[in-house]
Structures are given as C-alpha cells and as structure tokens.
Amino acid sequence: MLLFVVLASTPVSASPRDAVLALARTAYACAVHAGAAADTGILTVIDYDRPSVDARLAVVDLHASAVLLETRVAHGRNSGDDRAVAFSNVSGSNESSVGLYRTGETYTGKHGRSLTLDGLEPGWNDHARARAIVVHAADYATEAFVMRWGRLGRSLGCPALDPAISDTVIDKIQGGTLVFAYHADAAWLATSRWLACPDADSAGSR
C-alpha cells in the first residue's frame, strides 16, 4: 500500500490506479534490469486515461512506498479536449506519446525551466527529444484556467504543469528517473518491451 506524503493542491485526487501502477512498476523493473535506467526509486506515473481536471500525474518513491506528490498535467492539443484519446510519435503531430521515458537535463527555454525527456520505446515515444517533448510550466495548466474553461489547456505534446508546482516536480524527477505515460492502447500494451521481461528482478521494491 502506498503512503501519501505530499499532495499538490488540486480538487480531485487521481492517485495511481492499482492496475496502472502495477504496469508502471513492471516497466520500471524491466528498464532497471536492462540497464536502461538506474534504480533511483523515483517513478512518475501519468494516467492519460483520466481527464485533465484530475491530478493524473503522480511522483512515486518506490523504495519508500510513498506518493511524493500529485498534480494536474496537460496533454497535446491534438490528443483530445479534456481527455486524451489520440497519441503519436511524429514530429508536428502536436499529440502526446505513451510509454516509458527517462528524464534528462534541465534547461531554460521559452517556458522557463524545463526538463528533457528521452523516450525508451521505439515507434511509440523515441522521437521525444527530436520533437522537444519536455516537462515545462504553462499558464494553461492552472486552476484558474480550469475554472474558466472546464479543462486544462493543451500543449504541443509536452506534459505541461502548473507553474506553481513545475519546479518542484522537475527537482524531484530530473537526472535519469523514469516516467511512465499510460493510455489503454492495446497495441502498445501488447508490444512494449518494458511490459514483458519476466526475468527482471524486483527493482524499486525494497
């Protein structure tokens, strides 16, 4: 059972659903076992099957069995309105991508402090860096925007966050931690290398 330590200020908690968290743990263990990431214990879970008004991004400390924070996150403008229903790995699609990512370096760009992402799933999200899919702050990811429009605004495919919490999230997940972006896509679920490695050990479970 997960212990909730810190919750971001949002009206609807969307702490990771058991089934989604189980898949995220499997992907984490597989990636660590394969040497694609270090066993930092930090795993970010984005459940794109939840509406944008929910706190559908959670940062989990697997070693401590604790949710460190949860918050809203925007999806790509061509992925859908309040709910994301379409995903792409193609530059210029303005859609979000599913799958496992590893966080990279931070930089300061047009959205302020931002965090690069490297997609670890060929065909699903491995063009993330070339597409400039990054974690960044956006004024369309705020409570005020939701109150006016009934949903978050949308990005060009990036997981965009409320500026009030963006730096906190980036601080916790930068430097090679894993991000699991979920959508109930049957083809991805059936073919992802990170969801089918039975010889992986229980990385992150201690």
CA dihedral of 155, 183, 50, 4, whole degrees rounded to 10: -100
- Domain count for the chain, please give it: 1
- Specify if 41 maps to a domain: yes
CB 73 within 8 A of CB 161: yes
Residue type, 76: G
Which CATH number fits the domain that encloses residue 78?
Answer: 2.40.440.10
Short-list 10, 22, 18, 14, CA closest to 48: 14
The model's pTM: 0.91
Cα–Cα distance, 105 to 14 (Å, whole number):
28
Task: Using CB atoms within 10 Å of the CB of residue 193, give its burial: 0 to 12 exposed, 13 to 18 middle, 19+ buried.
Answer: middle
- Say if 23 falls within a structural domain: yes
Averaged pLDDT in 10-residue chunks for the chain of 206 residues: 42 72 97 97 98 97 95 98 97 98 96 97 98 98 97 98 98 98 97 85 52
Question: What pLDDT is stored for residue 7 in this prediction?
Answer: 37
What residues make up the domain containing 179? 3-195
